[in-house]
Amino acid sequence: MSGMASESEGRPLRPIIVWFRRDLRTDDHAALIHAAKQHVPLVPLFIFDTELILSLPSDGAAFNFQAEALVELGQQLHQLGGTLITRHGRVSDVHREIIHELHPLALYYNRDYEPYARERDAKVEQIYREADIDVHSFKDAVAHEPDEVLTGKGAPYVVFTPYANAWKKLSHPLPFTRPKPFSTPHVPHDRLLGARELGKPIAISDPAFVGGEREAHRRWRHFLQSMIVAYAKDRDLPAVDGTSKLSASLRFGCISIRRMIDDCDKALHRATTAQQLSIKKFVDELIWREFYVSVLYHYPGLTHSNYREEFDKMPWRFSTKLFNAWKEGRTGFPLVDAGMRQLNQTGWMHNRVRMVVASFLTKDLRHDWRKGAACFETKLMDIETSSNNGGWQWAASTGVDPKPLRIFNPRLQSERFDPEGDYIKRFVHELRRVPAKYIHSPHAMPPTLQKEFGCVIGKHYPAPIVDHAAASAEYKRLFAAIKSR
Q: What is the pLDDT of residues 163-200, one digit of tens each?
A: 999 999 999 999 998 999 999 999 999 999 999 999 99
Residues whose CB falls within 8 Å of the CB of residue 330, separated by 6 or more in sequence, listed in order: 324, 337, 462, 465
pLDDT of 7 above 80: no
pLDDT of 120 above 90: yes
| Tens of pLDDT, residues 324-334 | 999 999 999 99
- Percent of the chain whose predicted confidence (pLDDT) is above 70: 98
Question: Domain boundaries in the chain?
Answer: 16-141, 142-175+210-298, 309-484
* Fold (topology level) of 309-484: DNA Cyclobutane Dipyrimidine Photolyase, subunit A; domain 3 (1.10.579)
- Percent of the chain whose predicted confidence (pLDDT) is above 90: 94
Average pLDDT over residues 267-275: 94
Pairwise CA distance, residues 119 & 54, whole Å? 17
| Tens of pLDDT, residues 339-357 | 999 999 999 999 999 999 9
HSE-CB for 263 with a 13 A CA cutoff:
16
- DSSP element (H, E) containing 136: strand 134-138
Average pLDDT over residues 72-88: 98
CATH superfamily of the domain spanning 16-141: HUPs (3.40.50.620)
| Tens of pLDDT, residues 389-433 | 999 999 999 999 878 799 999 999 999 999 999 999 999 999 999
Name the band, by pLDDT with cuts 50, 70 and 90, for residue 281: very high
pLDDT given at position 365: 98
pLDDT given at position 279: 98
Average pLDDT over residues 444-459: 97
Contact 417, 238 (CB under 8 A): yes
pLDDT of 2 above 80: no
CA angle 306/307/311 to nearest 5° reads 50
pLDDT of 250 above 70: yes
pLDDT given at position 4: 39
Class (C level, CATH) for 142-175+210-298: mainly alpha
pLDDT given at position 483: 83
CA angle 474/476/482 to nearest 5° reads 105
pLDDT given at position 6: 42
pLDDT given at position 227: 96
pLDDT given at position 1: 35
pLDDT given at position 77: 98
pLDDT of 293 above 60: yes
pLDDT of 304 above 70: yes
pLDDT given at position 402: 77
Q: How many helices (H) and strands (E) does the chain have?
A: 21, 5
Residues whose CB falls within 8 Å of the CB of residue 196, separated by 6 or more in sequence, listed in order: 60
| Tens of pLDDT, residues 194-213 | 999 999 999 999 999 999 99
pLDDT given at position 432: 97
Average pLDDT over residues 227-256: 97
What's the mean per-residue pLDDT of the chain?
95
The pTM for the full model equals 0.95
- Residue 400 CB: number of other CB atoms within 10 A? 22
- DSSP element (H, E) containing 110: strand 106-110
pLDDT of 161 above 60: yes
pLDDT given at position 10: 56
Catalytic center residues: 285, 288, 316, 351, 369, 392
